[in-house]
């Protein structure tokens, strides 16, 4: 199909964008908590910058979706890149001037990029056929494979390169955004026909959320992403707190992000063969396994295996949920539903990141106790998401796919 030819070209651009621009995410997640410890007046606030970045993403998800619905994907992605560069600039300023407040404001602006990046997967699906859509989404997510290597390795090179620790990392993030923005000139995403609220004929947001497949997709996406963030945010603090080096934390994050994106080369094919519900269920099961491994010990190998399983479970759960959602709404409902989805997803991620630092640093009397609390907190949310999937699966087939 002609549309699939265009979709494949767009996938190439989005993969490159995910690889280059996406490297800033593992970079920030690796150093933000450690940098926060040097700036925060209370160690319980060490991961607050990550929480604010997620809050920034949550607050801008709906506006960016609406902006893209009116001005196109390319314009929205450029705005996101500008937000990432400006946020890193403010973060660098916070480190240089030893200002925790400025550092936090920078994190909030970095959330603009995080939000825009979340729409890469939807942009891949825009012009794809039903058959190609799962592969398009998973291939774009696979672009993060290179970022999984580049990002943490840039941290090892830049974290201590300047007198102020981690300042070089934030300056490198500015450079990534400056280079990556030019990729969007090659994106073939026609400007959409603007539909005003008065002319809108699709379902309301409440009506869409009452659709079983949409509701379950949102729940699983939110739980998968939130739990991944909950554990990943604390992992560098846990690794360093248990006596290992910053470089070890970076390598653990590398393994985690590799596991997040490497399976994307075949996730789409697995969804096509076994069905999206089964792949989502496997993802939730693997997330549970990650928590079990993490609570089994604090040796370096435990961190590596647990964070790798965490990434794999996120991949199956989140890509599966994205695929289910993309096929459950009409094209004219895209702007509303995708923005609402990411608002809810990053709302859950915000709560997870806010909880992560407190659970890690302020529950129990040791690093090990805090790490146990972080992983134990996964259980109730996995039960909720698993129950939602079972509920959908038990519905009659004719109703289940509506």
Whether the per-residue pLDDT at 235 is higher than 60: the answer is: yes
What number is the average pLDDT over the span 322-334? 80
Condensed to tens digits (0 to 9), the pLDDT of residues 220-231 reads 999 999 999 899
**Cα distance between residue 355 and residue 377, in whole Å:** 9
- What the block records as the tokens of 282 is 């496997």
Highest average pLDDT, of 57-61, 105-109, 251-255, comes from: 105-109
Share of the chain above pLDDT 90, in %: 40
How far from 360 is each of 137, 240, 350, CA to CA, in Å?
33, 12, 16
How confident is the model at residue 300, as a pLDDT?
93
How confident is the model at residue 307, as a pLDDT?
96
What number is the average pLDDT over the span 11-21? 89
Whether the per-residue pLDDT at 198 is higher than 90: the answer is: no
Condensed to tens digits (0 to 9), the pLDDT of residues 126-180 reads 777 777 887 888 788 777 777 878 888 898 899 889 999 999 999 999 999 998 8
Nearest to 128 by CA among 272, 254, 336: 272
**Cα distance between residue 217 and residue 333, in whole Å:** 16
Averaged confidence pLDDT in the chain = 86
Q: Are 384 and 219 in contact (CB under 8 A)?
A: yes
What number is the average pLDDT over the span 291-303? 94
- DSSP result, 93-153: HHHHTT-HHHHHHHHHHHHHHHHHHTTHHHHHHHT--TTTHHHHHHHHHHTHHHHHHHHHH
How confident is the model at residue 112, as a pLDDT?
94
Confidence of residue 402 (pLDDT cuts 50, 70, 90): low
Determine how many CB atoms are found less than 10 A away from the CB of residue 331. 9
Nearest to 356 by CA among 381, 386, 378: 378
Confidence of residue 193 (pLDDT cuts 50, 70, 90): low
Whether the per-residue pLDDT at 401 is higher than 70: the answer is: no
- DSSP result, 379-402: HHHHHHHHHHHHHHHHS-HHHHT-
How confident is the model at residue 314, as a pLDDT?
95
Whether the per-residue pLDDT at 327 is higher than 60: the answer is: yes
Confidence of residue 356 (pLDDT cuts 50, 70, 90): confident
Q: Report the SS3 class of residue 198.
A: coil
Dihedral of CA 232/233/238/241: which sign?
positive
CATH homologous superfamily of 2-181+203-400 equals MFS general substrate transporter like domains (1.20.1250.20)
Confidence of residue 200 (pLDDT cuts 50, 70, 90): low
In this structure, of 59-63, 257-261, 334-338, the range with the lowest mean pLDDT score is 334-338
How confident is the model at residue 197, as a pLDDT?
52
How confident is the model at residue 194, as a pLDDT?
53
How confident is the model at residue 107, as a pLDDT?
95
- What the block records as the tokens of 141 is 């997510």
Confidence of residue 57 (pLDDT cuts 50, 70, 90): confident
What number is the average pLDDT over the span 59-77? 88
Residue spans per domain, the chain: 2-181+203-400
Confidence of residue 218 (pLDDT cuts 50, 70, 90): very high
- DSSP result, 153-190: HHHHHHTTSSSSTTHHHHHHHHHHHHHHGGGGGG---P
| Residue length of the chain | 402
**Cα distance between residue 135 and residue 296, in whole Å:** 35
Confidence of residue 398 (pLDDT cuts 50, 70, 90): low
What number is the average pLDDT over the span 241-270? 85
What number is the average pLDDT over the span 346-354? 81
**Cα distance between residue 353 and residue 52, in whole Å:** 9
**Cα distance between residue 356 and residue 366, in whole Å:** 15
Helices 246-261 and 212-241 meet at what angle, rounded to 10? Answer: 160
Q: Are 30 and 253 in contact (CB under 8 A)?
A: yes
How confident is the model at residue 102, as a pLDDT?
97
What number is the average pLDDT over the span 309-337? 86
What number is the average pLDDT over the span 192-197? 54
Nearest to 321 by CA among 213, 248, 246, 395: 213
How confident is the model at residue 276, as a pLDDT?
92
Dihedral of CA 243/247/248/253: which sign?
positive
Residues with Cβ within 8 Å of 5's Cβ and at least 6 positions away in sequence, in order, are none
Nearest to 10 by CA among 144, 123, 159: 123
80 vs 249, residue with greater confidence: 80
How confident is the model at residue 2, as a pLDDT?
52
Confidence of residue 121 (pLDDT cuts 50, 70, 90): confident
């Amino acid at each position: 199909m002609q549309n699939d030819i265009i979709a494949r070209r767009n996938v190439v651009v989005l993969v490159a964008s995910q690889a280059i621009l996406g490297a800033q995410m593992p970079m920030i997640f690796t150093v933000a908590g450690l940098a926060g410890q040097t700036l925060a007046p209370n160690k319980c606030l060490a991961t607050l910058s990550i929480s604010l970045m997620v809050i920034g993403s949550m607050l801008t998800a709906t506006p960016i979706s609406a902006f893209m619905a009116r001005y196109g994907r390319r314009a929205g992605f450029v705005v996101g890149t500008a937000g990432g560069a400006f946020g890193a600039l403010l973060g660098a300023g916070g480190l240089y001037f030893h200002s925790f407040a400025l550092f936090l404001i920078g994190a909030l602006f970095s959330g603009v990029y995080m939000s825009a990046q979340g729409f890469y997967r939807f942009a891949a699906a825009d012009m794809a056929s039903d058959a190609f859509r799962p592969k398009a989404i998973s291939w774009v997510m696979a672009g993060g494979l290179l970022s999984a290597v580049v990002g943490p390795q840039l941290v090892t090179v830049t974290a201590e390169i300047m007198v102020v620790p981690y300042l070089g990392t934030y300056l490198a993030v500015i450079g990534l955004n400056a280079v990556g923005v030019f990729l969007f000139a090659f994106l073939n995403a026609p400007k959409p026909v603007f539909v005003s609220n008065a002319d809108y004929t699709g379902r309301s947001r409440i009506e869409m959320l009452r659709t079983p497949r949409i509701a379950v997709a949102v729940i699983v996406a939110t739980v998968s992403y939130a739990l991944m963030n909950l554990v990943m945010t604390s992992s560098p603090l846990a690794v360093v707190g248990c006596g290992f080096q910053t470089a070890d934390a970076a390598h653990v994050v590398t393994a985690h992000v590799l596991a997040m994106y490497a399976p994307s080369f075949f996730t789409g094919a697995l969804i096509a063969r076994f069905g999206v519900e089964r792949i989502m269920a496997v993802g939730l099961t693997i997330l549970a396994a990650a928590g079990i491994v993490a609570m089994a010990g604090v040796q370096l190998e435990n961190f590596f295996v647990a964070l790798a399983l965490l990434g794999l479970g996120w991949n199956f759960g989140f890509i599966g949920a994205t695929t289910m959602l993309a096929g459950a709404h009409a094209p004219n409902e895209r702007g509303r539903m995708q923005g609402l989805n990411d608002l809810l997803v990053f709302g859950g991620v915000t709560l997870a990141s806010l909880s992560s630092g407190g659970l890690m640093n302020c529950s129990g009397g040791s690093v090990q106790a805090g790490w146990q609390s972080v992983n134990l907190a996964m259980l109730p949310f996995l039960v909720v998401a698993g129950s939602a999937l079972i509920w959908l699966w038990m519905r009659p087939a004719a109703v289940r796919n509506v």
